[in-house]
A and B are shown apart, each in its own frame.
Chain A
Amino acid sequence: MAAAVNAPVPAAGNAPGESSSTQAEIDVEIAAAAKDYAERGVEETQPRRDYPPYRSSLLRHPTKDPVQADPEGAELWAPAFGQRDVDPLEADLTIQRGGEPIGERMVVTGRVLDGDGRPVRGQLVEIWQANAGGRYVHQRDQHPAPLDPHFTGMGRCLTDDEGRYRFTTIKPGPYPWRNHRSAWRPAHIHFSLFGTDFTQRLVTQMYFPGDPLFALDPIYQSILDPAARARLVAAYDHDLTQPEWATGYRWDIVLTGAHRTPLDDPEDPA
């Protein structure tokens, strides 16, 4: 997790394999997929892995249907993490680099639940994000926005007995990428989550309400169902907002169902 901080390199056209499509062309593809989904009338709750408007997915999605398999053995057990693994200070992304980062300070909190609504307790949550200017501390991020010497943009915590996580951070900015000409990602925070089974493993992104880039973004739109997409959008919560200090956002995460019941698990008091 050493920060790889390189000077920005000016973008010089598209690298091989990168698209020179226009936003208008991407919009047409997004609209066609949405129309097809609406006409089909079968609910999908996850993104399509095969979603051509996201150009990087073209050669990276399986073409064969997944094979149904009842979870067995190690699949039934998520890895465990404890106090030994995570320092509580890792949940505050504003204190990692010896000074106050620039941007809108905020609290992001919510609960991690399994598909039956049970809290996922004592489990690892990892996040990473761009800074307020839309720049990642990553050598491959060539967006010529400033790095913030006081912000790394990664955090960890363990959920509490209610399945609750809580981070203090800075609101990330939107940033350009090279999917097509003038492609911009809506502001987001990457989340990595574990459940009680390994089959519940999830990596996703949390977005902010009302982002004008939602309609234009093929990664967000790869979830064709509008109600499913909305599950990735946090809610502003004024009760979480701390006077003279930080705004507050709430976002709950639901994992897939656990295949191992609590009764099977002598270590779980639930």
Chain B
Amino acid sequence: MTLTPTPGQTVGPFFHYALPFDGDRDLVPPGSPGSIRLHGRVLDGAGVPVPDALVEIRQAGPDGVVPTVAGSLRRDGFTFTGWGRASTDREGRYGFSTLVPGPVDGGAAFFSVCVFARGLLHRLFTRAYVPGDDAALAADPLLASLPAARRATLIAVADDGLRFDVHLQGDHETVFLDHDGPA
């Protein structure tokens, strides 16, 4: 049996009192051993920051295992759930305190990223690949299928942690993914 999926709609401008929660962006306590900052900006087609976007990440731990334990909404400070949520600020910035994911089943390590925003009618998926392992990145089927300029939009930049900007539109438009074929 195959059912037709329910359509998406924009998250709108008024989600801030409902979706954010205490500790939403801290998959591990900031400053705890092994913690890094995954951060960046969400920008529109004119390069203007998007102050009403919501970014979610889903990831493996450093051991390459994707956690399936509960507890993200009431974090206890010890359980790594591998999922987080961060709303952008007035400058379009988001940031997570998390661990660097390891590769799952070999291959290149990445964060799965889901983006919502006012003005965006349906969620967008992308990946933020962990930089550094050039051989693994070169061998990744998705990255290998892209021209160099587009490939670069998917690889986080090592700076103060890992920086990953999301360009919804424009010359630097991020590569967004379709996991299900044409709608």
Instruction: List residues of chain A with CB under 8 Å of any chain B CB.
Output: 1-4, 44-49, 51, 54, 56-64, 66-86, 113, 115-117, 124, 126-128, 130, 136-138, 140-141, 152-154, 156, 190, 192, 198-199, 201-205, 219-220, 222-223, 228-229, 231-232, 253-257, 259, 267
Interface string of B105-131 (1 = CB under 8 A from A): 101001110101111111111010000
Q: Is the CB of A254 within 8 A of B58?
A: no
Which of the listed residues B7, B116, B174 has the most CB atoms from chain A within 10 Å of its own CB?
A: B7
CA–CA, A61 and B122, complex, Å:
9
For the complex formed, measure the closest distance between the CB of A213 and the CB atoms of chain B, giving whole angstroms: 14
Knowing that A56-B119, A61-B169 touch, tell me 19 more A-B residue pairs with CB under 8 angstroms: A1-B20, A47-B8, A51-B121, A59-B48, A59-B168, A59-B169, A62-B124, A62-B173, A67-B142, A73-B103, A75-B125, A80-B81, A81-B70, A136-B17, A137-B17, A140-B14, A190-B14, A254-B4, A256-B179
For the complex formed, measure the closest distance between the CB of B77 and the CB atoms of chain A, giving whole angstroms: 13
Which of the listed residues B6, B45, B120, B124 has the most CB atoms from chain A within 10 Å of its own CB?
A: B6
Residues in B whose Cβ lies below 8 Å from that of A140: 13-14
For the complex formed, measure the closest distance between the CB of B2 and the CB atoms of chain A, giving whole angstroms: 6
Residues in B whose Cβ lies below 8 Å from that of A49: 120-122
**Choice from B66, B68, B107, B119 contacting A57 with Cβ under 8 Å:** B119
Interface of B is mostly: loop
Residues in B whose Cβ lies below 8 Å from that of A60: 44-45, 50, 117-120, 168-169
Residues in A whose Cβ lies below 8 Å from that of B183: 44-46
- Whether A199 touches B125, Cβ cut-off 8 Å, given contacts A45-B5, A126-B19, A138-B16, is yes
Interface of A is mostly: loop
- Whether A79 touches B180, Cβ cut-off 8 Å, given contacts A59-B168, A203-B116, is no
Residues in B whose Cβ lies below 8 Å from that of A117: 1-3
Q: Is B18 an interface residue (CB 8 A)?
A: yes
- Whether A47 touches B122, Cβ cut-off 8 Å, given contacts A63-B173, A69-B177, A80-B69, is yes
Q: Is the CB of B74 within 8 A of A84?
A: yes
Q: Is the CB of B8 within 8 A of A203?
A: yes
- Whether A82 touches B71, Cβ cut-off 8 Å, given contacts A45-B5, A45-B183, is yes
For the complex formed, measure the closest distance between the CB of A115 and the CB atoms of chain B, giving whole angstroms: 6
The contact sample of 14 A-B pairs, CB cut-off 8 A, is A48-B121, A71-B179, A72-B104, A73-B103, A80-B69, A82-B70, A116-B2, A128-B15, A128-B17, A140-B13, A198-B58, A203-B9, A232-B9, A254-B3
Residues in A whose Cβ lies below 8 Å from that of B70: 80-85
- Taking CB atoms and an 8 Å cut-off, the chain B residues in 58-92 that contact chain A are 58-60, 66, 68-74, 81-83
Residues in B whose Cβ lies below 8 Å from that of A72: 104-105, 107
**Choice from A4, A70, A113, A219 contacting B9 with Cβ under 8 Å:** A219
Q: Which residue of A lies closest to B13 (CB)?
A: A140
**Choice from B6, B72, B101, B118 contacting A204 with Cβ under 8 Å:** B6
**Choice from B9, B20, B22 contacting A47 with Cβ under 8 Å:** B9
- Whether A79 touches B2, Cβ cut-off 8 Å, given contacts A199-B125, A219-B9, is no
